[in-house]
């Protein structure tokens, strides 16, 4: 096999890169320095950050060279002779804002591990419940989200005209897209559908704790089941998720009501059904704006003083027997709520649930049971919310299908987990770090890495000539289980050196026996 030539760019561009390259490392009888042992057994506690000062120097040198080079090269033909150190890509330097746009997030590795942990928990719970994952375009037709009930969501749309002059919007929620897909698929679908989505949504709104302009939302929906069993199953899945991430019933509860409570009151006062959505949206603001404003908005819809009074009184009820007393026991609202509490008992989450007539939720399409998860300390916004939307399909021009679902964002739950000290720092873990002890052996190290990866082992291959001290630091940072060293004399004998980093045990092993 031909020896790997020393890369010329390495020598020309990075003369200082060899600064730490000690000839002793090329020795075949490599010794693990005693200082590196300090990393053993402390892998999850001590993950040092080391800014690699020698690298940093090289970079800033490079950068200066670029900066001085650009202006003189502009315009006339300033071709250079000598070493072909590449010039800047274009003539222009454009200082950018290094922060992500307002309300959005970057996910560096540590945050990404957290996001994956949470989003995978959503997915695992959904699969436990036998739900199938679906997704929809992030960019949807604006018309899908614009309803006439005065919802907050409409004013917060990220919408624009695309190059084909179509009005489009970044989805603020997932349910309308789901309804669109169900309508599109039509009779080819076997009901009931149990679908879940974990997807990004946008709302251009004022940012508060646990609310950004972009977030991930977990949705589960059951399409085609009219009975309360479906609503009960959904809440059960949320409880399972909460338990899985360490939340208990003393941290979180669910407020449950039914929009049919409001509907029954409205019908007593002969208020037309087509005002129902608007009334719900106004009433949902009851904790956000002064109650006189709520009253005035209701009156502006043409609802009488008496009806408004009755509505507000009923909304203050937080006991199911009291509701039954007020509305009678023949209506659907009371019957469904009673059934839900009975099922909650069977599912095993009755203690998480409480009736609260003031819960109506802020989306106009809900028709029946509605619920929201809240932190019992009352510090945060709703953790999740959902309900039954039996008529969304017909408002889109499709045939109605009974349906219910919920949305559960990734922001408030993380705030709560932080509050409760339940947010674990997840560390990177790579099984092997493979390192050549000699620049000439980088090809050999590549072979070793490839072999291990073919056996399913995760490998961080050291891509440069680095001192062993550096390699041990990196091994500690990535929580490597073992270090595989490719040295010249071992390699000639078909062997590599192995050090188990947790125990310090070190040995030589035949390449073929490396598992």
Q: Which parts of 367-386 interact with a second copy (CB under 8 A)?
A: 367-368
The CA distance from 438 to 27, in Å, is 9
* In the complex, minimum distance from the CB of residue 32 to a second copy, in angstroms, rounded to a whole number: 21
* In the complex, minimum distance from the CB of residue 462 to a second copy, in angstroms, rounded to a whole number: 9
Which residues, 172 to 201, sit near a second copy by CB under 8 A? Answer: 177, 180-181, 183-185, 187-188, 190-192, 194-195, 200
222 near a second copy, judged by CB under 8 A: yes
Which residues, 351 to 370, sit near a second copy by CB under 8 A? Answer: 364-368
171 near a second copy, judged by CB under 8 A: no
* In the complex, minimum distance from the CB of residue 377 to a second copy, in angstroms, rounded to a whole number: 27
Q: Output the six-digit token pair for 241.
A: 């998720």
Q: Report the residue from 152, 310, 322, 332 that binds a second copy according to the rule CB under 8 A.
A: 332
* In the complex, minimum distance from the CB of residue 288 to a second copy, in angstroms, rounded to a whole number: 20
Which residues, 4 to 63, sit near a second copy by CB under 8 A? Answer: 4-5, 7-10, 12-14, 17, 49-52, 55-56, 59-60, 62-63
The neighbour count for residue 195, using CB atoms within 10 Å, is 22
CA angle (221, 318, 316) in 5-degree steps: 105
CB 372 within 8 A of CB 363: no
Which residues, 283 to 322, sit near a second copy by CB under 8 A? Answer: none
> CA of 76: how far to CAs of 89, 94, 346, in Å?
17, 21, 82
Binding mask 496-515 for a second copy (x = CB under 8 A): --------------------
Beta-bridge partners for 461: 434
Please give the size of the binding site for a second copy, defined by CB under 8 A.
189
Which residues, 78 to 107, sit near a second copy by CB under 8 A? Answer: 78-80, 84, 86-102, 104-107
Interface segment toward a second copy; rule CB under 8 A; list 220-228, 287-295, 314-322, 485-493 = 220-228
Is 35 or 190 the residue whose CB approaches a second copy more closely? Answer: 190
Using the Cα atoms of residue 120, residue 122, residue 125 and residue 127 in order, give the sign of their dihedral. Answer: negative
Which residues, 450 to 489, sit near a second copy by CB under 8 A? Answer: 450, 453, 456-461, 463-464, 474, 477-478
Parallel, antiparallel or unpaired: strands 139-141 and 167-170: antiparallel
Interface segment toward a second copy; rule CB under 8 A; list 249-257, 261-269, 318-326, 496-504 = 261-269
The CA distance from 13 to 65, in Å, is 11
> CA of 492: how far to CAs of 29, 432, 488, in Å?
14, 22, 6
Parallel, antiparallel or unpaired: strands 139-141 and 214-223: unpaired
Is 401 or 485 the residue whose CB approaches a second copy more closely? Answer: 401
* In the complex, minimum distance from the CB of residue 247 to a second copy, in angstroms, rounded to a whole number: 16
206 near a second copy, judged by CB under 8 A: no
CB 412 within 8 A of CB 383: yes
Name the residue with tokens 């690298």.
55
* In the complex, minimum distance from the CB of residue 184 to a second copy, in angstroms, rounded to a whole number: 4
Which residues, 385 to 444, sit near a second copy by CB under 8 A? Answer: 389-402, 428, 430, 433, 442-444
Parallel, antiparallel or unpaired: strands 158-161 and 139-141: unpaired
Q: Report the residue from 174, 333, 384, 414 that binds a second copy according to the rule CB under 8 A.
A: 333
Binding mask 114-143 for a second copy (x = CB under 8 A): -xx----------xxxx-xxxxxxxxxx-x
Q: Report the residue from 288, 299, 346, 510 that binds a second copy according to the rule CB under 8 A.
A: 346
Q: Taking the CA of residue 135 as centre, how many other CA atoms within 13 Å lie in the half-sphere pointing to its CB? A: 11
Is 235 or 380 the residue whose CB approaches a second copy more closely? Answer: 235
The CA distance from 49 to 465, in Å, is 20
Comparing CA positions, the residue from 475, 477, 498, 472 lying closest to residue 20 is 472
The CA distance from 199 to 202, in Å, is 10
* In the complex, minimum distance from the CB of residue 2 to a second copy, in angstroms, rounded to a whole number: 6
Interface segment toward a second copy; rule CB under 8 A; list 18-26, 318-326, 448-456, 495-503 = 448-456
Comparing CA positions, the residue from 144, 215, 227 lying closest to residue 178 is 144
* In the complex, minimum distance from the CB of residue 477 to a second copy, in angstroms, rounded to a whole number: 6
Helix (H) or strand (E) holding 447: helix 442-454
Comparing CA positions, the residue from 215, 331, 176 lying closest to residue 262 is 331
CB 315 within 8 A of CB 264: no
Is 201 or 417 the residue whose CB approaches a second copy more closely? Answer: 201
* In the complex, minimum distance from the CB of residue 30 to a second copy, in angstroms, rounded to a whole number: 20
The CA distance from 456 to 320, in Å, is 57
* In the complex, minimum distance from the CB of residue 389 to a second copy, in angstroms, rounded to a whole number: 7
The CA distance from 504 to 488, in Å, is 22
Q: Report the residue from 1, 45, 421, 512 that binds a second copy according to the rule CB under 8 A.
A: 1
């Amino acid at each position: 096999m031909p020896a790997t030539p020393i890369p010329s760019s390495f020598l020309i561009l990075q003369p200082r890169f060899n600064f730490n390259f000690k000839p002793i490392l090329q020795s075949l009888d490599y010794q693990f320095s005693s200082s590196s042992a300090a990393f053993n057994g402390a892998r999850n506690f001590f993950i040092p950050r080391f800014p690699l000062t020698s690298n940093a120097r090289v970079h800033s040198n490079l950068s200066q060279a670029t900066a001085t080079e650009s202006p003189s090269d502009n315009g006339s033909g300033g071709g250079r002779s000598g070493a072909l150190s590449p010039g800047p890509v274009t003539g222009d330097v454009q200082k950018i804002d290094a922060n992500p746009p307002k309300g959005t997030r970057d996910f560096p590795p540590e945050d990404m591990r957290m996001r994956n942990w949470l989003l995978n928990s959503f997915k695992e719970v959904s699969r436990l419940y036998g739900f199938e994952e679906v997704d929809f375009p992030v960019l949807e037709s604006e018309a899908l989200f614009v309803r006439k009930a005065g919802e907050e969501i409409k004013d917060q749309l990220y919408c624009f005209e695309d190059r084909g002059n179509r009005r489009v919007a970044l989805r603020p929620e997932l349910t309308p897209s789901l309804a669109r897909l169900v309508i599109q698929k039509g009779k080819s679908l076997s009901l009931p559908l149990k679908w879940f989505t974990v997807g990004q949504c946008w709302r251009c709104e004022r940012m508060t704790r646990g609310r950004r302009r972009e977030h991930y939302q977990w949705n589960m929906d059951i399409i085609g089941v009219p009975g309360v069993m479906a609503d009960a199953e959904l809440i059960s899945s949320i409880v399972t998720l909460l338990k899985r991430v360490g939340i208990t019933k003393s941290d979180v509860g669910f407020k449950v009501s039914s929009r049919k409570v409001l509907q029954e009151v409205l019908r007593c006062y002969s208020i037309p059904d087509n005002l129902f959505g608007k009334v719900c949206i106004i009433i949902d603001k009851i904790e956000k704006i002064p109650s006189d404003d709520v009253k005035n908005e209701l009156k502006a819809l043409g609802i009488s003083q008496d009806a408004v009074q009755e509505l507000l009184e009923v909304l203050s009820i937080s006991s199911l027997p009291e509701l039954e007393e007020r509305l009678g026991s023949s209506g659907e609202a009371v019957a469904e709520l009673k059934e839900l509490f009975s099922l909650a008992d069977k599912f095993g989450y009755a203690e998480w649930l409480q009736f609260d007539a003031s819960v109506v939720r802020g989306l106009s399409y809900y028709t029946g049971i509605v619920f929201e998860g809240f932190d019992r300390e009352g510090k945060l916004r709703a953790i999740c919310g959902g309900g039954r939307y039996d008529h969304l399909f017909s408002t889109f021009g499709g045939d109605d299908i009974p349906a219910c679902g919920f949305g559960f964002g990734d922001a408030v739950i993380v705030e709560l987990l932080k509050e409760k000290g339940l947010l674990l720092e997840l560390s990177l873990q790579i099984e092997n770090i493979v390192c050549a002890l000699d620049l000439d052996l980088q090809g050999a190290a590549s072979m070793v890495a490839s072999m291990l990866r073919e056996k399913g082992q995760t490998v961080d291959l050291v891509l440069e000539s680095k001192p062993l001290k550096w390699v041990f630091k990196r091994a500690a940072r990535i929580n490597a289980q073992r270090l595989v060293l490719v040295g010249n004399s071992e390699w000639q004998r078909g062997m590599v050196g192995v050090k188990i980093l947790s125990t310090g045990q070190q040995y030589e092993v035949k390449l073929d026996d490396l598992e």
